[in-house]
């Protein structure tokens, strides 16, 4: 069984495209081979800045011969129909089989498809792959028609077996496949002839090319951390930057340089961002002070002076970049510490549009300020401090530093707020109010930060709802799903109880929404606008809880209850119910409840009355009935105060304790007794089961 080796050698491939391109090469080629009948044992793809490589091991040397059965027209069909079938099958009339079927005599063609050699199939599959490769961006060069991410120089394509290697015959746009490649552009640029993947990877390594990107990443990280450790420092982890730098070099050589003393006073995040964005440098931190004091760069070659010239050039360019950052920092500080202070930046935001239907950034800030003040008492924050925090939370959007590095917004606001003499709570809110941006981000925990972060997200949700810009399907251009998840996580993870009706009513009013007769939050609670928005939040809550192992039907059973505007209590109720239903008592109680509810509902429909009161123990005829009366009395006495105290665990446990008495009742008692009084009493007893259980959750929505 031969092994296949493919290398597509080109000018430098952008680092961000390499991993996806290697996966695409593997997928397209192996799928094409299998579709053509060539199975294989294993495959692996690799990438460097100048090459995509695929190795396929244990491949068949030819596709198997096949016999295809093709059903044709009826034997007595018109001659033209039969002739058309013969042309398509490539057969003559005497080569067809005539078979009896339930629909009469039918003609069948047995078409022999001989196997094809692997080299022929590989050539076809690889040409199709190259000509239809899904690059995000591609280019043409010279006079050819081929498109590739960068000019394609050569194609290596060989089939290797025990008796030697065979070059696959293939020519694309004047590029003929061969058995040669090249090593490192500067250190070993000569042609290399290879006979197998092992030979290929070994010769490339000797030619200063590390083929596996994972090996390059490990080399960079190990060398960088060891170099930093030797100097009493540590490298700031950045997985994204590590992957990108590994895609910029074929032979990584790690060098550590100095940052000028003039720049060591800059915030560490500024140094880190500037070096990462402009130079692709890793930041090296002093663990004792937290300052960024050095940098690590990765060269693509060794030099006679051990990288001294490279470092000198990098340090010179870095000094120029950091001079700009230092200027921005000092200029911003002068404004923050001036008499007008950060209000100068807030005023400038009146000329910056937030959304053409929702006003300017300054108007957004004004709404956030009002909302934060209302929310503050509900989350344990000082209202005046929350309003001040909201007023200055986005002020840094006007700063020069954030204009240069937008990813530092919020963080720089925190620095500037401290420089302006604002409280620690206001400074923290500037940094935290955007959070959480992703599902793994921490949520703000300080009361003022919570108030401002909620205000920012509630304003976004109510604003885009007010202008009817809701998410549709997979489209969510304004990240409203993320905002909703942020509200949920902030409330739930901080154990904050908040009536969403109040918050959403305030947010929509600030956006100028008119509610007609709905003059307060209670009236507002029944309006379609609010119901629609809360339903959206409930849908996001289902996703959030599903990721934590809570079933959708359990959440639905809790959403159906009063108080579902309080997401924190809703989550507590859902988790308590989920834990209860994991027990045997809880699971079996559902069956007993549904049996009671079904019997009761059928009787009420048939009799045209509601059996909702009047169950009296004096009409009980069996011990099981009397035991159920007692159990319901006990459970009700426990559930009612537990629900009032929001002790859902105790309430659910008391409800689950009914499982035994309910099962015993149904085993021993016939509800529809011939005695009308007894029957009515028993139906009213079932009504008590429904009422007591339904006070905890709507169990009719539970599956099973």
pLDDT exceeds cutoff 80 at 454: yes
Helix 447-466 × helix 424-432 angle, to 10°: 40
**How far apart are the C-alpha atoms of 320 and 311, rounded to whole Å?**
14
What is the predicted pLDDT for the residue at 314? 95
| pLDDT per residue as tens digits for the range 535-572 | 899 999 999 998 888 889 999 999 988 888 899 999 99
Q: What is the pLDDT of residue 516?
A: 60
State residue 163's pLDDT score.
86
Question: Residue 111's pLDDT is what?
Answer: 81
| Residue corresponding to tokens 């597509």 | 8
Going by C-beta distance under 8 Å and a sequence separation of 6 or more, which residues neighbour residue 306? Answer: none
Name the pLDDT band for 69 (thresholds 50, 70, 90). confident
Model pLDDT, residue 561: 87
If you write DSSP's letter for every residue of 462-525 in order, what string do you get? Answer: HHHHHTT---BTTB-TT-HHHHHHHHHHHHHHTT----HHHHHHHHHHHTT---TT--SHHHHT
Q: Taking the model in full, what pTM does it have?
A: 0.79
pLDDT one-digit tens code per residue, 86-141: 888 888 888 888 899 888 999 998 888 788 999 999 999 999 999 999 999 999 99
**pLDDT score at 531:** 64
Look over the chain and give the mean of its residue pLDDT values, rounded to a whole number.
Answer: 92
Is residue 590's pLDDT more than 90?
A: no
510 pLDDT more than 80: yes
CA distance 640 to 319: 70
Is 16 strand, coil or helix?
helix
Q: Average pLDDT of 282-296?
A: 95
Percentage with pLDDT > 90 across the chain: 71
| Span 409-414, average pLDDT | 96
Name the CA dihedral angle for 665, 671, 677, 681, rounded to a multiple of 10 degrees: 50
> pLDDT tens digits, residue range 618-654?
988 999 999 999 999 999 999 999 988 889 889 989 9
- Write the pLDDT tens digit of every residue in 199-224: 999 999 999 999 999 999 999 999 99
Is the pLDDT assigned to residue 514 strictly greater than 80?
Answer: no
């Amino acid at each position: 069984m031969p092994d296949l080796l493919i290398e597509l050698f080109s000018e430098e491939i952008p680092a961000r495209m390499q991993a996806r391109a290697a996966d695409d090469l593997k997928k397209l080629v192996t799928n094409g081979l299998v579709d053509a009948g060539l199975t294989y044992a294993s495959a692996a793809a690799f990438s460097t800045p100048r090459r995509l490589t695929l190795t396929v091991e244990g491949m068949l040397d030819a596709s198997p011969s096949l016999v295809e059965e093709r059903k044709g027209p009826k034997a007595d069909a018109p001659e033209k129909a039969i002739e058309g079938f013969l042309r398509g099958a490539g057969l003559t009339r005497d080569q067809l089989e005539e078979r009896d079927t339930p629909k009469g005599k039918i003609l069948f063609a047995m078409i022999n498809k001989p196997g094809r050699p692997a080299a022929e199939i590989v050539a076809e599959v690889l040409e199709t792959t190259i000509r239809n490769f899904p690059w995000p961006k591609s280019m043409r060069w010279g006079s050819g028609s081929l498109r590739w991410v960068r000019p394609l120089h050569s194609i290596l394509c060989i089939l290797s077996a025990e008796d030697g290697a065979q070059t696959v015959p293939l020519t694309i746009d004047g590029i003929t496949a061969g058995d040669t490649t090249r090593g490192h552009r500067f250190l070993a640029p000569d042609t290399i002839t290879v006979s197998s993947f092992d030979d290929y990877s070994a010769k490339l390594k000797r030619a200063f090319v590390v083929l596996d990107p994972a090996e390059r990443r490990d080399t960079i990280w190990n060398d960088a951390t060891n170099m930093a450790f030797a100097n009493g420092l540590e490298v700031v982890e950045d997985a994204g930057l590590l992957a990108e730098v590994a895609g910029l070099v074929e032979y990584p050589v790690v060098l550590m340089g100095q940052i000028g003393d003039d720049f060591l006073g800059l915030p560490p995040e500024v140094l880190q961002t500037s070096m990462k964005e402009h130079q692709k440098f890793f930041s090296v931190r002093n663990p004792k002070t937290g300052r960024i004091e050095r940098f690590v760069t990765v060269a693509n070659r060794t030099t006679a002076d051990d990288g001294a010239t490279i470092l000198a050039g990098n340090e010179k360019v870095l000094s120029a970049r950091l001079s700009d950052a230092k200027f921005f920092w000092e200029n911003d500080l002068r404004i923050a510490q001036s008499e007008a202070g950060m209000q100068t930046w807030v005023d400038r935001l009146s000329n910056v549009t937030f959304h053409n239907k929702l006003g300017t950034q300054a108007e957004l800030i004004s709404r956030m300020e009002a909302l934060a003040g209302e929310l503050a008492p509900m989350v344990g924050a000082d209202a005046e401090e929350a309003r001040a925090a909201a007023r200055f939370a986005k002020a840094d959007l006007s700063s020069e530093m954030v204009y240069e590095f937008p990813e530092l917004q919020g963080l720089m606001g925190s620095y500037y707020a401290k420089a302006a003499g604002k409280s620690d709570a206001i400074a923290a809110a500037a940094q935290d109010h955007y959070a959480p941006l992703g599902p793994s981000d921490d949520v703000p925990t300080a009361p003022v930060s919570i108030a401002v972060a909620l205000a920012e997200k509630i304003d976004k949700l109510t604003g885009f709802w007010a202008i009817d810009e809701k998410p549709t399907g997979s489209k969510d251009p304004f990240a409203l799903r993320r905002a909703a998840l942020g509200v949920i996580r902030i409330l739930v993870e901080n154990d904050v109880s908040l009536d969403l009706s109040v918050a959403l009513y305030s947010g929509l009013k600030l956006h100028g929404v008119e509610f007609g007769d709905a003059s307060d939050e209670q009236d507002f609670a029944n309006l379609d606008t609010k119901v629609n928005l809360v339903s959206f939040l409930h849908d996001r809550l289902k996703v959030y809880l599903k990721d934590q192992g809570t079933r959708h039907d359990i959440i639905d059973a809790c959403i159906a209850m009063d108080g579902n505007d309080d997401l924190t209590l809703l989550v507590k109720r859902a988790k308590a119910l989920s834990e209860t239903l994991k027990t045997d008592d809880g699971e079996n109680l559902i069956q007993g409840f549904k049996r009671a509810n079904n019997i009761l509902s059928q009787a009420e429909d048939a009799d045209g009355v509601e059996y909702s009161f009047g169950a009296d123990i004096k009409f009980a005829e069996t011990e099981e009935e009397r035991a159920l009366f007692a159990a319901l009395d006990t459970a009700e006495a426990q559930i009612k105060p537990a629900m009032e105290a929001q002790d859902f665990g105790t309430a659910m446990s008391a409800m689950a304790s009914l499982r035994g008495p309910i099962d015993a009742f149904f085993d021993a008692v016939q509800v529809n007794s011939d005695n009308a009084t007894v029957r009515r009493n028993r139906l009213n007893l079932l009504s008590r089961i429904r009422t007591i259980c339904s006070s905890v959750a709507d169990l009719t929505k539970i599956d099973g």
